Amino acid sequence: MKTIEAPMAGTAPATPQRKFSEEEEIRLMDYPDSTEEIPLLDMSPYLRGEPGGRERVAARLKEISETVGFFYLAGHGIPQSLIERVFAESRRFHGLPSGVKGAIPWIDRDSHKTGYLGVGQERSERTNVNIISDAKSLYARFTIIREPDPRVETNVWPENLPGFKSVVLEYQAAVEALGKKFLPLWSTALELPLDFFDRMFEIPHVTLSLLHYPPQKAIGGRQYGIAPHTDNSMMTFLAQANIPGLAVRMPSGHWRLVDIIPGTLLVNTGNVIVRWTNDQFLSTKHRVINTNSVDRYSIPVFFGPNADAVIEVVPTCQGALNPPRYEPITYRASRKWYYGE
């Protein structure tokens, strides 16, 4: 029988952990029972320029990334009013007639996905996205990427929805700026020069998705709002509305439902940072099931490096006794692997 190790990918447990069969693992995903803490990171001492603020925040970021891989982010500086406006636009969009939304194509642009997919149209059988076989996702998404060349518009926008585009782009730009502010924190956490990552994020990957999860009537049958997976970016910034449903895999191997803490974003690290840190930092599994009687909305923004950036183990995460576990790969190639292309 297939077994699954309890520790999350990207960390070596200090003591042996029990193994779960695939059936047990799916049960834990479907019925989260963990009470382990999802930590909170307040980055305001760093953003305010307090003496020692960067070092303190970076130390906490390192600890979280080595142990949980998910955290509530406070003091991030994005106005709550902007977050509320982009949620209002998401509801406007998903409330459009199916024929209007369906006219927006789903397009693959250099391994970036853009456009619209309706409820239940996500297909990942040939990809390396999902972590269990035959899983099905029940959600709709409208996705845009960061335009690599401002002179050439890549994204496809809905017609006759005044104000929608400007608000969505404003929020995307705000999260991109926030992601770049994290780069010196990652450098500090890894004892690298402060500008180590800067050249790799000159034209970063910033994919924003407006997600809509209808109520799910039953749990089981490998049916999810979004199937269990890890993210492939460096990090993901998730804005949640007021409806729960997200669960994450905790260090015990049990899963925990994520709370909604007003004024915070939920952040997780992705597969790229696992490769950069030679498995020192985590890319934590997560999934969504909307068991509520109302629709659920969330807005993830995936933040990663330039398409041509080479992802290779950083100098401080390798040595004679800790050789690189990963071959160098471009970020573009890693995305193509992730999507099974």
pLDDT score at 124: 56
Which three-class secondary structure state does DSSP give residue 165?
helix
Domains in the chain with CATH codes: 3-338 (2.60.120.330)
Mean pLDDT by 10 residues, the chain (341 residues): 35 49 92 97 98 98 98 98 98 96 88 87 61 87 87 87 97 98 98 98 96 94 93 97 96 96 97 97 96 96 96 98 97 89 72
pLDDT in tens, 176-191: 999 999 999 999 999 9
pLDDT score at 127: 59
Give Cα 81 to chain centroid, integer Å: 22
The DSSP annotation for 169-228 comes to HHHHHHHHHHHHHHHHHHHHHTT--TTTTGGGGSS-EEEEEEEEE---S--BTTEESEEE
